[in-house]
Amino acid sequence: MNNNTDSVTLGFIGLGVMGAPMASNLVRKGGHPVHVFDLDDGQVAQLVKLGAQACDSIEAVGKAADIVFLSLPSITQVEEVALALLAAPEKPQMIVDMSTSDVGRSRALAQKLAEQGGIEFVDAPVARLRQAARDGTLLIAVGGSEEQFSRVRPLLENMGSDIVHCGGTGCGQVVKILNNMLVFMSVNALAEAITIGRAAGVDGKLLFDAISLGSGNSFALQHPGLKNLVPDDFPEKVFPTDYAIKDISLALALAEQGGVVAEGARRTHDLLCRTRDAGFAKNYYPAMVKLIDGRVRG
């Protein structure tokens, strides 16, 4: 592989809620040709307007690009796309998975790609909200060798403001998964707090504003707390309950593998499953408050 990232050609597959703004920043700020593919032709067209080059298949991206970035719903789609790239007549030299994916399966995929096609695999999942994806201020947790990290970091800096090397393959996923677990558990606690406070006669906004001045302040309080739990607004196409269940399930799998009984995470997982079953699978996951305060039974 050409180790000089100044001259590489890039690919991006998966132009969803997070992938589209990430790819947009890569196109606008990276100074590299970027070839894009998604099942949504409209999203591809938007990237083409910014200067990307459209591809009509996964294989076409692999043929055109030295490094291919992925932003996909789960490890299942990551495996499908990566194996399609592996089977193609012309292959990329590196795949960078920016999805939130299963750690063990990511490591197994990396080994298979290397052994069967000489394709390097780096995990680089992202944290923070959709606005951070638009602004290029994501936290990106990277798993790979020191040499791989040094090569991809200049490219990732077009999409994130904090790029952290977390260790070998899969370690980026570990950090991202545990970050999300902590956020979900914090939102669970906030939903309980606002419900208790309202029942005791304290306005929800006043409660969270006051707590934000003390030691209870947090990212979760400032964002899903004040912006969603207080106004009781849980739209679709933000970070749905289904996605939260997927991510906290990955955390519980890691806990089991490490012999850890993660009771708090398990309770939040169960509440999220009840929230999904109550009809909020596609809604922003803080909708869990509806079950906590008794408006919905599940």
Residue positions annotated with a catalytic role: 176
Cα–Cα distance measured from residue 187 to residue 195, given in angstroms and rounded to the nearest whole number: 12
CA-only gyration radius of the chain, Å: 20
Helices (H), the chain: 19-30, 41-50, 58-64, 75-87, 103-117, 130-135, 146-156, 171-199, 204-211, 219-220, 241-257, 263-275, 289-292
**In degrees, to the nearest 5, what angle opens at C-alpha 104 toward C-alphas 100 and 109?**
85
Rounded to 5 degrees, what are φ and ψ at 237? 60, 35
Cα–Cα distance measured from residue 214 to residue 5, given in angstroms and rounded to the nearest whole number: 45
Give the sign of the dihedral formed by CA 74, CA 79, CA 80, CA 84: positive
Q: With contact defined as beta carbons under 8 Å apart, do 187 and 224 qualify?
A: yes
Report the run of H or E that residue 142 belongs to, with start and end. strand 138-143
